[in-house]
Amino acid sequence: MGYRSLLRDHKQLLSIAFLALFSSSLGQSYFVGLFQAPISEHLGFSAGQFGTAYAIVTLCAGFAMLRIGPSIDWIPPRRFALTTLIAMTAGVLILTLSPWWAVGLIALGLVRFCGQGMMTHLGNTLAGREFTRNRGRALGLVNLGIPLGEIALPPLIATLLIWFEWRLIWWIFGAALLCLWLPLLLRGPWPAAPGARPNRQKRREGPSPFRERHFWQILPLLMALPITMTGLFIYQAQMTSDLGASLSTYALALAGMGIAKLPGALLGGRWVDKLGPARVARLYLIPYTLAMMVAITLGGDISIWALMIGGGLGMGMQEAIATSVLIRLWGAEHLGRLRATLSACMVFSTGIAPAILGLAIDLGAHFTAILIGMLAFIIAGWSLARRPLGKINAGMK
């Protein structure tokens, strides 16, 4: 079954998962970053104070994912989506209307948790669990929601900010999402709850990711791309300066990265179905690795383009690969718990990585040396993941 047949036969279910991932835009860093100045002024923060507060609420959202994310394994998906949507809407209203900075900060954390956290969790878990034969293609299709938001929303919001106050833009976007969700919540083909709520007095069945050796072996490979790309985003000024490129080139290449995610998601989904997630997991970082080699050896504007395009292709494939690998290793019935743990690890690591890179820069490290360190991290991730990926291949034979 190709993408066209998949869309024809499962349009509504795919629409639910796609909309969940597009709705995550409201809590994504790029979206919040577009309003950093007015939100900082509203909360009474300096730029540095806002950055510290943002890191704290993001880490808190990661801990909340560990606690609440697994509930998608026993809560009906419709109720899960409705609860998340209500909580995210409440966060937007409180953030934009509250006169107290502490309450506004809690609301920002709620938007981050429900947007980037729970909406992404809902879309990927739903697609990964409900599709079996064409899981990779389904995940590839629904994950187009994130890059489409990254491509369309920044220029749209930049234009709206010319005429409207930031609060009104948040309200407009929130209202538009509610209007899109309403028909799906009322008439969508929602699946039933996948399982029963576990008894707290009994030992919980299924995998405990932090106690699974294979989880720790596969984790560096799955985290390599988000960790290193976060470093490139945060320290873009140092990167362009050390590599002899311009910030205007970076801005254009960033748009190119968003566009590269689209074929990355579609190709990654197709390859996961055709070749298997283990084989694709071994290969999907090759474009990004080659891009790092270009940046290390050549520098200049071409290095920025290579890093953004190579990273965009890999990021487009990431979710289809990660979800499929988790299912092959531990089964779809525990996907909520597995994805929640993986998401929390991503949040923690991408929060810590900028601090480590910042320390290296303060100590005088050239960005070329930082890229070499990133490349070594990717190679180490490949090496550690060999055994669990080999287990998947052995199970497929």
Three-state SS string over 101-155 comes to HHHHHHHHHHHHHHHHHHHHHHHHHHHHHHCCCCHHHHHHHHCCHHHHHHHHHHH
Among 161, 195, 229, the domain boundary falls at: 195
* 13/140 same-domain check: yes
Q: From CA 346, how far away is CA 342, in angstroms rounded?
A: 6
The whole-model pTM stands at 0.84
Domain count along the chain:
2
* 313/375 same-domain check: yes
Tokens of 94: 């409180």
Among 141, 166, 195, the domain boundary falls at: 195
Answer whether residue 200 is part of any domain. no
pLDDT by 10s per residue, the chain, length 397: 577 888 888 888 999 999 999 999 888 877 887 787 888 888 888 766 777 788 788 888 888 888 898 888 888 999 999 999 999 999 999 999 988 888 988 999 999 899 888 999 999 999 888 888 888 888 989 999 988 888 888 888 888 888 889 999 999 999 999 999 999 999 888 888 776 666 665 555 667 888 889 999 999 999 999 888 888 887 888 888 899 988 888 888 888 888 999 999 989 989 998 889 999 999 999 999 999 999 999 989 999 999 999 999 999 999 889 999 998 888 888 888 888 888 888 877 776 777 788 888 888 889 999 999 999 999 999 999 998 888 887 664 4
Taking Cα atoms as reference points, which of 120, 209, 228 lies closest to residue 388?
A: 209
Q: For residue 338, what are the domain limits?
A: 211-397
Q: Show the CA angle centred on residue 233, arms to residues 250 and 368, nearest 5°.
A: 80
Decide: residue 36, CB within 10 A, 0-12 exposed, 13-18 middle, 19+ buried.
middle
Tokens of 261: 């995610």
* 145/240 same-domain check: no
Question: Which CATH number goes with the domain that contains 75?
Answer: 1.20.1250.20
* 189/220 same-domain check: no
Answer whether residue 204 is part of any domain. no
Answer whether residue 237 is part of any domain. yes
Report phi then psi at 13, rounded to 5. Answer: -65, -40
78-86 long-range CB contacts below 8 Å, 24 or more apart? 78/185, 78/188, 78/190, 80/118, 80/122, 81/16, 81/20, 81/122, 81/181, 81/185, 82/185, 84/114, 84/118, 84/119, 84/122, 85/23, 85/114, 85/177, 85/178, 85/181, 85/185
Q: From CA 147, how far away is CA 263, in angstroms rounded?
A: 10
* 327/360 same-domain check: yes
